[in-house]
Amino acid sequence: MVAFARKLWNRFNYFLRALTRDFNYVTDQFFGLDWLVVLAGVRFGSEHVKLRRCWNVYRWLIYLPLIVVFWNLVVNLVNRAKLDLVLSCLLGVVGGIVAALRALLVLWYYEPLQEVRRYYLQEELGNCVELHVEFLHIKNKIRPMLNATFVIVFYSTALTLASGAIYLSQLKFMTIFSLVILCYCVGVALECFCITRMVNTMSESNASIAQKIYNLEWPKNLEYDETYNAEYHSVRKTMTTVMVMAQQPLRLNCFGLFEFTQDKFYELLNMAYSLYTFLKNFV
């Protein structure tokens, strides 16, 4: 038995060495967003043949549970099962579809997101102005993706919370699956709260830039001198540009439907509760 285990371990080590023998540190090393798209099974930029082969197997395996849950949903609908069973399957299907849609959005806007990752901060005013303009330009590139993500998150979170509450309220005792459902619902709600909080912070920070520059004493201290004519006009132009651009809204408004702020999160909770009370009548 020990010899068999040792032989199996040696074969495993040999496989790992063969798998990483041609490791390319340029294309096979990932950070942040790259890891997310690899784990989601939507993009893998490696040129390593064996790694790509393993990843292709992995990307198909991760979607098998979604197919199984969808099949259970269809079976329960055909057999006219109880609503709590249907909603539990619907919860899994919605979660899988939302994850797939968000992964596709990330893949579609992958290059603009890479620009966001390369964005950095500096302290000099001139560089800050340039970076602020660059930030707004990058934000405009990924704004459609953000708005689409916000719409998906808003409505899927409301449906998830209502469905999860219906399922959990019908249980007579807790199970491992019910704990998973509870943790999933809490995680979805927490994610939505963090996103709305982030949008609030970004909007407030963007609006405060113009106010802070306006409150500076630069109009009084900036005196015109013929010797520094170019510098004088450059500083005035810089200050004016920052104030004008900072007064523009970020337009993270879900394609004009609503502003995805923290107040909208509380409305989402009310919507989820209303949906819960409506569905509860059919249980």
Q: pTM for the complete prediction?
A: 0.66
Short-list 209, 271, 277, CA closest to 244: 209
Cα atoms in the 13 Å half-sphere on the side-chain side of 77: 9
Q: Among the listed ranges 115-124, 152-161, 181-190, which one has the minimum average pLDDT value?
A: 115-124
pLDDT of 227 above 70: no
Q: Residue 146 in contact with residue 196, Cβ under 8 Å? A: no
* Higher per-residue confidence, 67 vs 213: 67
The distance between the two most distant Cα atoms of the chain, rounded to a whole number of Å, is 92
| pLDDT attached to residue 282 | 76
| pLDDT tens for each residue of 272-282 | 999 999 888 87
Task: Give the range with max mean pLDDT: 41-50, 75-84, 227-236.
Answer: 75-84
Q: Could you give the CA distance from residue 235 to residue 251 in angstroms, rounded to a whole number?
A: 28
Classified as helix, coil or strand, 234 is helix
The whole-number average pLDDT for the span 146-150 is: 90
- As a whole-number percent, the residues of the chain with pLDDT over 70 amount to 70
The whole-number average pLDDT for the span 245-269 is: 84
| pLDDT attached to residue 151 | 92
| pLDDT tens for each residue of 20-64 | 555 454 455 455 566 667 777 777 777 777 777 887 888 888 778
Q: What is the mean pLDDT of the chain?
A: 76
